[in-house]
């Protein structure tokens, strides 16, 4: 098995393996190089994901530990004007539904028939 060193010898070894890829010894070395490359990429991805997760968790924990501004009163949980607007919207939709149910439009055909 070839000794895989970093540097100019590595590229020479890879070129030799590719040139002799029909021989079992070179194919095994090439497969080993491919497998180690996949493992290295997977290790880098997992490491980056763990570091990002820890960083994001620390940001959330820092945001939770920040003091709240209690000098101003909190906004009201229920806005009456917005609630009345939503209720009126529901009522108009109900009126439209009832009107269409009593007088179905002849221009719209029933797709189930």
Per the listing, tokens 């909190």 go with 74
**Cα 12 from Cα 106, distance rounded (Å):** 80
Residue 52 predicted with pLDDT over 80: yes
**Cα 110 from Cα 113, distance rounded (Å):** 6
pTM above 0.75, yes or no: no
Residue 42 predicted with pLDDT over 90: yes
Residue 6 predicted with pLDDT over 80: no
């Amino acid at each position: 098995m070839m000794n895989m060193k970093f540097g100019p010898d590595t590229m020479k070894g890879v070129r030799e393996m590719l040139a002799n890829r029909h021989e079992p010894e070179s194919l095994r070395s090439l497969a080993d190089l491919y497998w180690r490359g996949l493992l290295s990429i997977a290790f880098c991805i997992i490491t980056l994901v763990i570091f990002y997760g820890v960083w994001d968790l620390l940001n959330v924990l820092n945001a939770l530990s920040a003091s709240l501004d209690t000098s101003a009163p909190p906004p009201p949980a229920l806005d009456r004007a917005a609630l009345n607007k939503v209720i009126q919207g529901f009522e108009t939709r109900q009126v439209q539904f009832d009107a269409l149910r009593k007088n179905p439009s002849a221009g719209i055909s029933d797709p189930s028939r």
